[in-house]
Amino acid sequence: MELFKEEGKKYKKEFLKLLEEWVSIPSFYDKKTVSKDMPFGKGVYDALNWFENLGRKNNFKVKNIDNYAIQIEYGDGKEYVDIFGHCDVVNPGEGWDSEPFKLNIIGDKLVARGVSDNKGPMIVNFLALKMIKNLNIDLKRKVRLIAGGNEESGFKCIKHYYSKEPYGVYGFTPDAKFPVLNGEKGGAVIKLISDIDNKSLYISGGIEFNTIPDKVYIKNIKKLGKDNIYCDFNNMSISYDKGDYVIHGKGGHSSKPEKSINPVLGTIKLLAENIDEDWAKDLYKLINQDNIDGKLFDLNIEGKCGILSMVPTIINIIDGKLEVVLSVRYPEVLTIETIIKKFNLYMNKNNINKFKVIGENLKQANYIDKNTKLVRSLHDIYVKYSGDLKNNVRVTSAGSYASEMYNSVIFGCEFPDGSFGNVHSANEFASLDRFITAISIYAEAIITLCNKI
């Protein structure tokens, strides 16, 4: 333990250099630059290429899986231990106090898009693997450190990877919090689409399906003026400029809606209260603060991974075309087919026939018993290095690669002490000191999964 702690500290300078380089690549999904060789666009392609070159420069065995994912491998044996993270990020959005793709160091605080989700944790795991290699520690299983390029917008990368490569016997993704998250909900996207008679009304809010936006923009609401607009919702503010409105909320990750003030919800409520049209009132009946858990549709069924959440993240009305996007997270006792069926059943019973409902499943729910060797071993390692006896193994509403892996859980890299934050929001940040501690944690975790269980 003391050896790893002291060795890990030696990589601080290298960690900062690598992080500064990688976060400077704006690697969010870019439909405009998608091609056969760049399946997720140029930014993601460049970030994957950076990771591939990093492995080769440090004399690891490296494999490029069709520019969907990059694998860095070390160790011996016929079995694999997989560490699967991602290099893609969500769109930076608005509200940053510094350049989102330039590392800003404020004491122990590192600020940039991707520092926490997920470039920082991936660099930490790379350095843990490099430390093991430099110390000449033999591994009886091969470790594959894999960077995917489509975690934030569809999981196509990991699905493609495992269509070409065998599964590992154990694994984890460093893409949420310590100590160990042994269960996660399934993930899906539901779209409500409708034509409306009002061709001049313009609404635009939200970019990413898994991110609650900060603002929604509204133009051409003829019945509203500067002084009589009304929206009594969760202390949301509304600004007015030359006939246009901005609904101001507080953005964040759609897996944690309670930490945000959702301006899409506020906009839907505003429309229902200020526009005397059936579509506006019916939309609010379906999507409102009291139906986040789907109870109106009889979907608030609890499983080992919790209950369903159904969070609106995007709303657009352009040229009489309405689209609302819901980020849906569901426990293992539900399926996307059941969710869509009950959604439609409710609309039929209540004579709501304006909307077409389209569902796309992104990932299945995942649950690994907390008493398995995998979970117990990783938890013990975390406690050993952190001294944290307060935070226990738990499940999460967030979605991760673990659901597409075999015998795998979420293991870090965020510490549960407030030293990481604003994931999917402006001013995403993480702790340099905690990252360096994590190098040692991951080094021992790799050795344990390869040699001891």
Domain ranges of the chain: 2-185+365-451, 187-363
What pLDDT, on the 0 to 100 scale, is given for residue 224? Answer: 58
Question: What Rg, from alpha-carbon coordinates, does the chain have?
Answer: 23
- In this predicted structure, the answer to whether residue 339 has a pLDDT above a threshold of 60 is yes
State the average pLDDT for the chain.
94
- In this predicted structure, the answer to whether residue 100 has a pLDDT above a threshold of 60 is yes
Q: How many CB atoms lie within 10 A of CB 404?
A: 23
Query: Any idea what the Cα angle at residue 28 is, between residues 22 and 29, rounded to 5°?
Result: 140
How far is the C-alpha of 60 from the C-alpha of 43, rounded, in Å? 24
How far is the C-alpha of 245 from the C-alpha of 221, rounded, in Å? 9
State pLDDT tens for residues 196-229.
998 999 999 999 899 999 999 999 886 555 544 5
State pLDDT tens for residues 270-314.
899 888 899 999 999 999 999 999 999 999 999 999 999 999 999
Arithmetic mean of pLDDT, 369-380: 97
What pLDDT, on the 0 to 100 scale, is given for residue 228? Answer: 47
How far is the C-alpha of 121 from the C-alpha of 178, rounded, in Å? 12
How far is the C-alpha of 194 from the C-alpha of 187, rounded, in Å? 24
Model's pTM, two decimal places? 0.85
How far is the C-alpha of 59 from the C-alpha of 38, rounded, in Å? 25
Under CATH, what is the fold of the domain 2-185+365-451?
Answer: Aminopeptidase (3.40.630)
Q: 30 vs 41, 149, 152, 363, CA distance in Å?
A: 5, 12, 12, 21
Give the bridge partners for 246, in sequence order. 217, 239
What pLDDT, on the 0 to 100 scale, is given for residue 46? Answer: 98
Query: Any idea what the Cα angle at residue 182 is, between residues 327 and 87, rounded to 5°?
Result: 60
How far is the C-alpha of 3 from the C-alpha of 26, rounded, in Å? 36
What pLDDT, on the 0 to 100 scale, is given for residue 234? Answer: 56
Q: How far does CA 402 lie from the centroid of its chain?
A: 12
